């Protein structure tokens, strides 16, 4: 039986990417979760999403950046993305990871890199979401976000809160005082029980508790989940409290629950799809398989067929 931990282990073995991509069916299947290796391919994918009533968020895949020159290349990539959004006339914002901008090297460098991208987005009337990564960088990510938010507007830059973290509710209370636009998600990293709820039930309960606070805050937030229970709870809370569909958005990952994405868009909800692209797609792809082991059998079946 292929376990989640095996897949998370394989996701860290980049060398396997070259082996796996020799199988044409594997390469083809990656396009289900990754929009391509170039900005142009991601733009084409976003055009299709826009045509189906969904907005998007660009995510340039690159992890474990360790050189200053690489962080600068990430900044240039995001400036190209922001320009491409305007040139193509597509409806999309961008999501950034601070480790891409140098968090493992120097927080000050990271802040400056992120600031360049946020300033360009603000000038263009676009928006930058700062993704949340592992708990070892939660505090420094929030600190850098708060500096950016102090300089730029509510609609220029936003942050992410993970409901599996024990600190999540306190963080939300602090962030709403600023105020800040928040993407609420469950959280995707392996965390120790001192830091994160080990029990899925507690993660879900915390998600619903925080979702209710966000919906009533009067700020436009993102409810990021594929979980039908979380989605139903959000719709029900909005209905009971008379909160309009325009007051928040649902968010999902590219290629995950496409049926539900389209259904929510058809029902008049704001639906944003997170669109990852780039040459370093392998770890991201493997983490998506790890989230739902049934996907592995889907991949293997197709590889054997090919
Ligand atoms: C837009 C967006 C942005 C995100 N940003 C961050 C971030 O900044 N930081 C962070 O830590 N995490 C982030 N995540 C990931 C998130 O934390 C979860 O790991 C992920 O969304 C799975 O949780 P879930 O809410 O969908 O619920 P789960 O309980 O994991 O899943 C509920 C149901 O959703 C479906 N599903 C979930 N994943 C898959 C899949 N891969 N393939 C097929 N079906 C699936 C299944 O039907 C499953 O039963 C983001 C997620 C989204 C949607």
pLDDT tens digits, 267-284? 999 999 999 999 888 888
Annotate the chain with DSSP letters as a single string.
---HHHHHHHHT-THHHHHHTTSHHHHHHHHHH---SSHHHHHHHHHHHHHTT-EEEEEE-------HHHHHHHHHHHHHHHHHHHHHT--EEEEE-GGGGTTTT-HHHHHHHHHHHHHHHHHTT--EEE----GGGHHHHHHHHHHHHHHS-TTTEEEEEETTBTTHHHHHHHHHHS--EEEEE---S---TTTB-SSHHHHHHHHHHHHHHHHTTSS-EEEE---HHHHHHHHHHHHHHT--GGGEEEEEETTSSHHHHHHHHHTT-EEEEEEEESS--HHHHHHHHHH-THHHHHHHHHHHH-
Ligand 1 atom nearest to 203, measured from its CA: 29
The whole-angstrom separation of Cα 16 and Cα 103 is: 26
Alpha carbon nearest to ligand 1 atom 30, residue: 291
Token pair, residue 124, equals 């263009």
Ligand 1 atom nearest to 253, measured from its CA: 53
Crossing angle of the two packed helices 200-215 and 168-177, in degrees rounded to 10: 10
Token pair, residue 44, equals 């084409």
Mean pLDDT of 186-198: 95
Separation in Å, CA 150 to CA 135, 144, 145, 146: 23, 10, 9, 6
* Residue 63: HSE in the Cβ half-sphere, 13 Å Cα cutoff: 16
Mean pLDDT for the chain overall: 92
Token pair, residue 83, equals 């320009």
Question: Looking at residue 215, what is its pLDDT?
Answer: 98
Separation in Å, CA 57 to CA 81, 86, 108, 188, 276: 11, 14, 25, 18, 8
**Residue among 32, 227, 272 whose CB has most ligand 1 atoms within 8 A, to mutate:** 227
Tokens 């601070």, located at residue: 98
Active site (catalytic) residues? 131, 183
83 CA → ligand 1 middle, Å: 29
Q: Please, are residues 94 and 121 in contact by the beta-carbon 8 Å criterion? A: yes
Is the pLDDT at 306 greater than 50? The verdict is: no
Q: Please, are residues 72 and 113 in contact by the beta-carbon 8 Å criterion? A: yes
Lowest-pLDDT choice from 3-17, 79-93, 275-289: 3-17
Question: Looking at residue 90, what is its pLDDT?
Answer: 98
Lowest-pLDDT choice from 10-19, 81-90, 96-105, 167-176: 10-19
60 CA → ligand 1 middle, Å: 18
Compare 7 and 75 and report the one with higher pLDDT. 75
Compare 59 and 290 and report the one with higher pLDDT. 59
If we measure between CA atoms, which residue out of 41, 136, 50 comes closest to residue 93? 50
Question: Looking at residue 2, what is its pLDDT?
Answer: 62
Query: Considering the entire predicted model, what is its pTM?
Result: 0.93
Residues contacting ligand 1 via CB (< 6 Å): 131-132, 160, 162, 185-189, 224-227, 251-253, 256-257, 274, 288, 291-292, 295
Q: Place 29 in a pLDDT band, splitting at 50, 70 and 90.
A: confident
Q: Place 240 in a pLDDT band, splitting at 50, 70 and 90.
A: very high
**Residue among 225, 251, 270 whose CB has most ligand 1 atoms within 8 A, to mutate:** 225
The whole-angstrom separation of Cα 265 and Cα 225 is: 15
Alpha carbon nearest to ligand 1 atom 36, residue: 226
162 CA → ligand 1 middle, Å: 11
273 CA → ligand 1 middle, Å: 12
The whole-angstrom separation of Cα 144 and Cα 37 is: 29
Ligand 1 atom nearest to 57, measured from its CA: 1
Question: Looking at residue 288, what is its pLDDT?
Answer: 83
The whole-angstrom separation of Cα 241 and Cα 214 is: 12
Alpha carbon nearest to ligand 1 atom 10, residue: 187
225 CA → ligand 1 middle, Å: 5
């Amino acid at each position: 039986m292929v376990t989640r931990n095996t897949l998370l282990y394989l996701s860290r073995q980049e060398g396997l990417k070259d082996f796996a991509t020799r199988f044409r069916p594997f390469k083809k299947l990656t396009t289900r979760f990754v929009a391509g290796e170039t900005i142009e391919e991601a733009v084409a994918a976003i055009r299709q999403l826009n045509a189906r009533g969904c907005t998007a968020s660009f995510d340039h895949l690159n992890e474990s950046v360790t050189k200053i020159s690489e962080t600068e290349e990430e900044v240039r990539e995001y400036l190209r993305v922001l320009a491409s959004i305007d040139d193509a006339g597509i409806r999309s914002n961008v999501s950034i990871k601070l480790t891409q901008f140098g968090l493992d090297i120097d927080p000050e460098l990271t802040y400056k890199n992120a600031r360049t991208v946020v300033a360009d987005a603000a000038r263009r009337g676009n928006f930058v979401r700062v993704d949340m990564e592992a708990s070892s960088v939660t505090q420094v990510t929030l600190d850098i976000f708060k500096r950016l938010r102090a300089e730029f507007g509510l609609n220029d830059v936003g942050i992410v809160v993970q409901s599996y973290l024990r600190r999540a509710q306190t963080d939300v209370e602090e962030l709403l005082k600023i105020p800040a636009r928040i993407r609420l998600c469950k959280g995707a990293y392996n965390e120790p029980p001192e830091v994160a709820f080990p029990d899925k039930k507690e993660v879900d309960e915390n998600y619903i508790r925080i979702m209710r606070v966000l919906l009533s805050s009067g700020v436009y937030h993102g409810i990021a989940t594929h979980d039908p229970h979380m989605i139903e709870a959000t719709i029900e809370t909005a209905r009971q409290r008379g909160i309009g569909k325009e007051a928040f958005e649902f968010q999902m990952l590219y290629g995950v629950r496409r049926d539900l994405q389209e259904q929510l868009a058809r029902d008049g909800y704001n639906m944003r799809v997170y669109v990852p692209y780039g040459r370093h797609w392998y770890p991201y792809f493997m983490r998506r398989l790890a989230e739902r082991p049934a996907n592995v059998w889907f991949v293997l079946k197709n590889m054997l067929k090919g």
